[in-house]
Structure 1
Amino acid sequence: MSAERSFTAGDVVPISTSARYLVSIDQLLPADSPRSNGEDRKHIARLAESEAELPPILVHRNTMRVIDGMHRLRAARLRQQDRIEVEFFDGSQAEAFLRGVELNTTHGLPLTLSDRKAAAERIIDSMPELSDRAIAASTGLSGKTVAAIRKRSSAEIPQSNVRVGADGRRRPLDRTQRRRRVAELLAGSPDMPLRALAAAAEVSISTAHAIRKRLREMDCPVGVGSSEQPDDASLLLQQLTRDPAMRLNQQGRDLLRWLHTHSIQRDVWTTLIAAVPPHTVPVITELASKNAKEWRALASYIDSASATAE
């Protein structure tokens, strides 16, 4: 890690009209560049021959290492300049590299695909908490490509359970857990403002809104806690389980196991439904409706059989 550099009087001259400085070229260190092949000599020559004023370069203040602008720096040397206009970046060296990749991706000579992939791998290694989308936005890759690079990288051993998105917010990886957290919060505060709900559960406002709407459309309480009293179905199932006529023969025991397996309580399904991906709702709705019809058919059959036996 480079030590902080010291300067003599006149090395760095502020430009009073902006946050830019005239800096002695000899004080600058070469960039920690994402370009595997270094600078393009032809591009440097074109910049040096141009009569246009060179835009300021970006320099890491603590190390005086160039972050973005090595072509301009080389061109300034060819022009035999002693100083160059600089904007300073304050942050860690990992953040400086990330910023350099972002700038090289969006302007100037584009990075090659292999350079962008190598940069993404390095960013994952130094800043594993960044989300795939955030890294993709910085490197000009797709989120799927970054995810594949992360998967084969050894940087996440042990794996991080949190990602920092492009908006700077920290979010846990388990989406199901976050959706369930929304349901739990609504159990205690059904009218919690959406922004507060989304922030507390670390989900987007649209996700919080969709879950609350879904629960309200069910027209049922959203309680998910185990402290609630069992509903009528649970009490009936417990009563049936204690009945010796059911427990003391194999068919009765098989039926009890089947009933326990297929029975579902409201405090359970209100929690589960909060984690349902929106695109699966029509299929799950249809399955629930079909199962409800089968339960009604079973009830009708048993009732009819009982009436016949009497």
Structure 2
Amino acid sequence: MAILDGVHRFHAAHLRGDTDIAVRFCDEPLEQAFVRTVRENVRHGLPLTHSDRTAAAARILRTHPHWSDRSVARAAGLSPKSVAELRKGARQATDPMHRLGRDGRLRPVDADQRRRRAAEILRSAPGSSLREVGRRAGISPSTVRDVKRRIENGQEPVPERDGESRGAARRKEEEEKPSKGRESARGTDLSDFPALVKRLCHEPSLRNSADGRLLLRLLDLHLVAQQSAARITAAVPAHQIATVAVAAARCRQIWHEMAAEVESNRPGHDATAATKN
């Protein structure tokens, strides 16, 4: 029952002796609620000071470290450059592997480093498949193929980013965008949760519907939880460990039930076999 926006209006109504006030309820996690509060206060009413917006951006970076600089800047009313400086100053020990952009896509933070990692794997284990190297390095098989081609031609695994090379990189990026058929034929390592979330973030039917975006946000939160599990569990006070454990188990049950329901909607699904499983 926290007031996200309209605190002054609430107190004014209270001082007038009003017993009722019109509200709009938002049932969402505290981290999402804070972002909503900042966005609302940036857009209207008494503008937040620069220090307030900077503090808000720093908090959003802590709770949503995978968000791009532009996404955080848009929410907090700062420039992407200011957010980038805040990110550098934060010195986060566990920087996520991907950042979520305003378009709903996950992009790797250290793409060049991943290419070099793929090159090391290819040199040490030349018989490895493109998919295996990609899984270990955190890049797509098509990018591994490009790294392998560059190594065979005596080039650096990371292409130059100026002039014609930059244009070629952009064309390659467009070629790697998933399309119908190619995505299904390519397959996905079901044990690689970040890759699964990334693939779903590329799905237009999910990004263009309210319920689809809700699913992506839920998966996004679980991705953060997976990457920050040690810090999250360490923050639980001793007297609340049992409660948190029960809540976590309930979350697991909810997702298990949802998985069963999604599976039952798949074309050609055998309900009897699923019940046995």
By the TM > 0.5 criterion, same fold? no
TM-score normalised according to structure 2 size:
0.45
More strand by share: 1
More helix by share: 2
Q: Which has the higher contact order (CA 8 A, sep 6+)?
A: 1
Q: Which structure has the bigger radius of gyration?
A: 1
